[in-house]
Amino acid sequence: MAVWSVSLSVVLCLSLWRTAVCGSHHLWLQTLNDTHVHSQFPRGFLWGVGSSAFPTEGSWDADGKGESVWDRFTHSSRTSVDTADVASDSYVLWDEDVEALQYLGVKFYAFSLSWPRIFPDGNATSEPNWAGVAHYRRLIRRLKDVDVEPVVTLHHWDLPQTLQERFGGWLNPNLVDIFADYARFCFQTFGGDVRYWLTIHNPFLLAVQGYGTGAHAPGLRGERQHHFIAAHNIIRAHAKAWHIYDKHFRCHQRGRVSITLGSHWVEPLHGQTTSANLDLCQKSMEAVMGWFAEPIHGSGDYPASLKASNRGVLPEFSPQEKMWIRGSADFFSLAFESETLNAAKGLASFGQMVTLELRKVLLWVQQEYRDPDVLLPDSGWFSDQSVGVEDTVAIYMLKRFIKQLLHAVSTDGVKVLGYSAWSLLDGFEWNHGYGRRRGLFYIDFTRPKRHRIPKTSAHFYRQIVNDNAFPDNHTQHMIHAHFPCDFQFGVSDSTLQVHLSPFSPQFTDPHVYRWNYSGDGSLRPVAGMVLHTRGSQCTDFLFIQRHLLLLEAVGASHYRFALDWSELVPSGDVSSADVEKLRFYRCVLSEVRRRGIQAVVMLYNPSYRSPSLGLPVPLHANSGWRNHSTVEAFVKYATLCFREFGALVPVWITINEPNRLSEMYGGNAEDRRTVERYALLAHAKAWHVYRQHFRQRHGANVSLALHANWVEPANPFLESHKVAARRFLWFELGRFLDPLIGRGDPDARDSREAGSSPIGFTDDEKAELRASLDFIALNHFTTHLVSPQKSQERGSSLMTDHTWTSSPMGQPVVPWGVRRMLSWMKSRYGNSLPVIITASGVDDRAAVDDQLRQSYIRSYLQEALKAKHETECNKTSLQEQHCVDVEDSSKDSHDLQFGLFTSAAHHSRPKASVNLYRDIISRRGFPSTSDPRPPCQRADISTSCRFCATMTESKPLLFFSVCVSFIIIFIIIICVLRKRKKRITTQQLHH
């Protein structure tokens, strides 16, 4: 029934704005400032928690309480067997509720009075049920005693059933005066201790779901106009109650009165901000919250869009009523929770997408209704009924809303008085029954005693309340310092494809040509004339020159790229290696070295983009890395590369990300361990080949590179999540590094916690693996949250904190993760080996002004600098490779999002991040303005003479210059000789 009712309510809601008039559109066109703000909320900010009577009180017929429409609704055969007869038992255990409030440390408690508990028949002019009155007096006085402000709602949907039967509920205008009498009694009875009154909670759901779709009590599926009539009477009832308080109670009670309005938020589908889509977005807001907010906080009448689309069914206010209703609220009370958003999900079919944007709702209220004070007595999400005290997802939903709230307050200047998490306790969630949980405190509804057990979300919220701050434990403070002079900055590509064309054939064509001989403007070879030519040169590969010009523009000292194994040795047999492609890579390396840049060369880079995963096709067809023959083939291939390129390469990476390679093969756990085992053995054998045959001659360092994103426990209040984080790091890194660095098999604790076997090596293999690593190479991009999950081989699953900045492709930008990763490496492996970050980067769709990438480079380098100063990385590594070698992608991939430059198809234009990165490199970090130390200068002969460098790089220009020089010298010699001859002749004539 719930699914049907929501879909029907959407149809009803859509009718409200289908033909409405355009409203304000600027919020959907505005780019909000999401830069980091101070985590502190203003002093005096009110933190609270909320609940309502029907879902929590129970005791549905105790001590003279009357029946409510929700009692009748849940007891009827139309609904499930669930009832709220006992619920959370808060009528009996109210003192435990107060203890829960004290645990949280909140400043206010938003709760509702049960109208039928105070007046069983709803008639406030008759004798009240004094037992009910006494209950609320005890609760309110107890709250005041413990310094918790009561925020009291008069009516949260539990209308006395008698009023429904006698009058038809809110369809009858008599309810306006009846509610006003009830409100007067409550103001008079409890008002001395109450400073904040809320008349009615979320009238949108009360009217539409109660009198339109039948999803809520009283469950009426009436005519189209019925929910409009109910809403009309609700607005009038609220206004009358406000005027009663304003006239008779305000002067001595000094309280404030409002009505809580529910809202959603919509964005144009796929971000298509056409005029028609923006119209629909504005009308959507006007048809849900504006339906009630415009009469009360705005003009005194319904929104024009609502009236235009519902002529004949929407009641009208008289001119006197408009004046009377307008301004009948002392602040804006907002509910932003799941029920209203769920009722609006169908709006996407009209070009809209419902989103969880509390910040934008607050901005909309600020800009539509003259910047009012705002209170949020109801905000939160829900968990499934199966979720117990470990409600990790609820923490991050709550954190998401509070982060948006912080931006609204600190960045946008919205005047928010306070925020209430909903709800204090698990309870009976209206038409969802006990199928959902929304409480900070867990209740087991199968037990007769309803104990309140704090969930992890309660611990989290308590921390926020106590700190009066957003929980940002990783605030990014900037430090001003230089990187050490031997710190290396680099740029990286994945696999550098062989480009034999375009190829410049200068000096290689032996023919002589005659132009326009036949008058047709063509070149024709001269028969019988053949010139001597030279062999092809590296400068003939135009791609290399153009590509390295980009590299030079960055100013980096290192360039990391991968050779294409499948292109160099297509058959897998090195005896048939492609000589021309070997020459291409040799030219690349020669040109890189000539420019004073050091090459970091990967022998094998597994890639999904290659059908053979980057292997020669015959090897892939023969089971690839699941077959030991690939190990032997790799060692031979590595030997070929060491021999052909060894003199030009100071740093080798044998295999890139072997800890991701097994995922490409799938299969069972045993198959994946086979792939991992053979990849590590292939690396170790290649390392030993280099050590035995090439190191003495070339002196390079050899390692492999691991994918090394950092992880944090998703739920920091649970030991199981901390164990999952340790397990993840062992599975992703420890299993691979421990055998190579010399720790042997992973220790028992790691293996036991991981719930997975080590890769598994024989004793001889362990000896071969041990110490086969010259440095630790890591590819670090981001940070994830990790939670335990036994069904996963690594024993954990990943999730993301939505309060983190993320890229268009969903990569979280978490700079402090790189520092934590380096700290973990040091704590586990000490300073025995240097650590190099061989790849790092983020996608950014911007064609030129890539602000996200700029922020990424700046902040990640800041964290690398902090790691250098705080963790004191080993700085005695070979070949001057030190603690961190930060690199980024140099050219865009096919989706044009990852590079410092646009693709060659877009003429390889530099993006703004190039200038930023080059500036950081030239300044050697982030020096302060008062730091007198000059930045280190890289010794580079090519920069000492720009003219010389230019001449050397352009061999045709050099040849032309030499020819011109010879001609000039020849002319000078002729002139000198003629002058001398003339002088001699003149002397002879005189004699």
In tens, the pLDDT along 811-838 reads 999 999 999 999 999 999 988 899 999 9
Q: Strand (E) positions, 804-878?
A: 835-839
Alpha carbons 857 and 818: distance in angstroms, whole number: 12
Q: Which of 406, 461, 359 is nearest to 41 (CA)?
A: 406
Residue 431 resides in a domain: yes
Residue 138 resides in a domain: yes
User: CA-based angle 596:600:606, to the nearest 5?
Assistant: 150
Q: Which of 586, 364, 399, 467 is nearest to 43 (CA)?
A: 467
Is residue 257 located within the same domain as residue 406?
yes
Tell me which residue range forms the domain holding 632: 487-508+534-709+815-926
Residue 975 resides in a domain: no
Task: Identify the pLDDT of residue 745.
Answer: 47
Q: How many CB atoms lie within 10 A of CB 388?
A: 13
Alpha carbons 257 and 197: distance in angstroms, whole number: 5
Is residue 77 located within the same domain as residue 128?
yes
Cis peptide before 423 (omega within 30 of 0): yes
Residue 979 resides in a domain: no
Instruction: Find out whether 671 and 718 touch, Cβ atoms under 8 Å.
Output: no
Cα 988 to its chain centre, rounded Å, is 96
Give the H/E segment covering residue 619. helix 617-621
Cis peptide before 377 (omega within 30 of 0): no
List the chain residues with pLDDT less than 70.
Answer: 1-25, 35-37, 77-81, 344-351, 473-476, 502-508, 533-536, 743-757, 870-896, 904-907, 932-960, 985-991
Alpha carbons 555 and 833: distance in angstroms, whole number: 27
Helices (H), 121-262: 130-145, 161-167, 174-190, 203-208, 226-248, 250-253
Is residue 456 located within the same domain as residue 494?
no
Is residue 557 located within the same domain as residue 689?
yes
Measured CA to CA in angstroms, residue 234 lies from 269, 397, 847 at distances of 33, 31, 53
Place of tokens 């170790």: 684
Q: Which of 853, 718, 691, 688 is nearest to 788 (CA)?
A: 718
Domain stops at, among 909, 926, 943: 926
Task: Identify the pLDDT of residue 893.
Answer: 43
Task: Identify the pLDDT of residue 873.
Answer: 54
Residue 21 resides in a domain: no
Task: Identify the pLDDT of residue 517.
Answer: 74
Alpha carbons 364 and 567: distance in angstroms, whole number: 58
Is residue 494 located within the same domain as residue 435?
no
**Full-model pTM:** 0.84
Q: Enter the DSSP assignment of 191.
A: G
CATH code of the domain covering residue 667: 3.20.20.80
Q: Enter the DSSP assignment of 925.
A: E
Is residue 214 located within the same domain as residue 127?
yes
DSSP-assigned letters across all residues of 754-820: HTS------HHHHHHHTT--SSEEEE---EEEEEE-TTSTTSEEEE--TTS-B-TT--B--THHHHH
Residue 454 resides in a domain: yes
Strand partners, 515: 523
Task: Identify the pLDDT of residue 701.
Answer: 97
Measured CA to CA in angstroms, residue 651 lies from 292, 372, 417, 695 at distances of 68, 63, 59, 11
Alpha carbons 817 and 821: distance in angstroms, whole number: 6
Q: How far apart are the first and last CA of the chain?
A: 133
Q: Which of 248, 267, 414, 273 is nearest to 353 (CA)?
A: 267
Domain total for the chain?
A: 2
Is residue 435 located within the same domain as residue 503?
no
Is residue 71 located within the same domain as residue 196?
yes
At 748, phi and psi to the nearest 5? Answer: -60, -40
At 127, phi and psi to the nearest 5? Answer: -70, 130
Is residue 368 located within the same domain as residue 266?
yes
Go through 487-510 and write b for each residue having 16 or more CB atoms within 10 A of its CB, e for each that does not. Answer: bbbbbbbbbbebbeeeeeeebeee
Q: Which of 604, 502, 586 is nearest to 904 (CA)?
A: 502
Checking DSSP bridges between strand 352-354 and strand 383-384, what pairing results, if any? unpaired
Residue 338 resides in a domain: yes
% of the chain surpassing 70 pLDDT? 86
Strand partners, 598: 558
Checking DSSP bridges between strand 651-656 and strand 523-530, what pairing results, if any? unpaired
Residue 44 resides in a domain: no
User: CA-based angle 761:565:892, to the nearest 5?
Assistant: 110
Is residue 451 located within the same domain as residue 502?
no
* Identity of the residue numbered 538: C
Is residue 305 located within the same domain as residue 357?
yes
Is residue 247 located within the same domain as residue 98?
yes
Domain stops at, among 411, 439, 467: 467
Domain stops at, among 926, 946, 980: 926
Alpha carbons 230 and 687: distance in angstroms, whole number: 79
Instruction: Find out whether 826 and 883 touch, Cβ atoms under 8 Å.
Output: no
Instruction: Find out whether 700 and 650 touch, Cβ atoms under 8 Å.
Output: yes
Strand partners, 437: 383
Per the structure block, which two tokens stand in for 380?
A: 């939160």
Q: Which of 519, 451, 371, 457 is nearest to 104 (CA)?
A: 457
Instruction: Find out whether 502 and 545 touch, Cβ atoms under 8 Å.
Output: no
